Amino acid sequence: MNRFLMFMSLCAVVCCTSCGSHKEEEKEEETKFLVTSALKKDTLVTRKYVCQIHSVSHIELRALERGYLEKIFVDEGQVLRKGQPMFQIMPMLYKAELQKVQAEANLAEIEFQNTKALADSNVVSKNELAMAKAKFDKAKAELSLAQVHLGFTSISAPFNGIMDHFQVRLGSLVEEGDLLTTLSDNSKMWVYFNVPEAEYLEYKAAVKKDSLMKVGLLMANDKMFKYPGIVETIEADFNNETGNIAFRATFPNPDALLRHGETGSVIVTAPLNDAIIIPQKATFEILEKKYVFVVTKDNVVSQREITIAAELPDIYIVKDGLKADEKILLEGIRKVTNNEKIEFEYEEPAKVIANLRVYAE
């Protein structure tokens, strides 16, 4: 019996020792962290800028004369051709005025011709002939002015475009200068976006003389516009309040998909040489600043702030704070504290980046 008890006690000790050994091994395995380095390579950086989309020509059509709106020849949203009639303001008063000055001009012409005949026969003086000529010229000028006023009662499209909604209705009394509608030429679109000063300087350094930067357009439905645009114009001055400068890209619009007033995002893709690339999951944030844990030669993790140059899906491109040959903690960021010594396994950065959802080309 005693022997049996001693045997059981020995088994219990062995079991306890074995369990303790397994727990220590598990603990060692749990405290082994995964470490990698930044990947240094040439890549493409994609930047996104909120933009405003404008028609290449967008104008207001206003009444040039006072009167009742007698006819509307077009409809809202209609595609118009240059010279197509749009509105007719009641022209009766201006027709009567034209007839009156036409008659006065005819009378002045007859008087001038008669005075000229008399002057040729030396019956009247040259001064009388000059006065008749001046009266005739004045009548012709008044006739031209009346014709212009009558022409103002008929409003036609100044260019090919799409008409907006009516601001007045048929029969309305319109005053001179009243807004009737707007007209947009959407054959090409001007897309405006603001660029920070640092990125403007990068652009100017990268773009060769006489070459134009190509850009894409991400529409409001998160789909890319199928035609690329080119940056043709940069404003002269920076905005002192925002530190930005306005760019203008021109996009063709053969399908008339884009309209004046739309919004979207301009997509700019630029090459970046010797970029320092790290996975986003290797970083953490404190008070809107990005940090990584750098692993020193003594296997100690040291918290360090980094500056992000660009953000791509799953990866960051580091501007400052990290070198390509420095090791960083990849997993277990929340399990360590600053200046803690760790054990780790190292994984090549190319393998780490390749296993992310999107690889940096």
**Of 182, 216, 243, which residue constitutes the final position of a domain?**
182
The owner of tokens 């209705």 is 169
d(CA 249, CA 212): 10
The answer to whether position 329 is within a domain reads no
The answer to whether position 28 is within a domain reads no
The answer to whether position 131 is within a domain reads yes
Token duo for residue 274: 């010797």
Print the domain residue range for 217: 47-55+185-272
Q: What is the pLDDT of residues 38-69, one digit of tens each?
A: 888 888 888 889 999 999 999 999 988 888 88
Q: What is the pLDDT of residues 203-239, one digit of tens each?
A: 887 776 667 888 999 999 999 999 999 999 999 899 8
Pair (168, 203) in one structural domain: no
The owner of tokens 């277990």 is 332
**Of 146, 163, 182, which residue constitutes the final position of a domain?**
182
> In a 10 Å sphere around its CB, with 0-12 CB exposed, 13-18 middle and 19+ buried, how is residue 67 labelled?
buried
Q: Which residues contact 326 (CB under 8 A, 6 or more apart)?
A: 37, 38, 294, 295
Tell me the pTM.
Answer: 0.65
Three-state secondary structure string covering 251-314: EECCCCCCCCCCEEEEEEEEEEEEEEEEEHHHEEEECCEEEEEEECCCCEEEEEEEEEEEEECC
Angle between helices 126-152 and 92-120 (to 10 degrees): 160
Q: Both ends of the chain: CA-CA distance in Å?
A: 75
| Contact by Cβ (8 Å): 38, 276 | yes
Q: What is the pLDDT of residues 135-191, one digit of tens each?
A: 888 878 887 877 777 677 788 999 999 999 999 899 888 888 899 999 999 999 999
Kindly state the helix (H) or strand (E) to which residue 7 belongs, with its residue range: helix 2-30
The answer to whether position 41 is within a domain reads no
d(CA 40, CA 306): 16
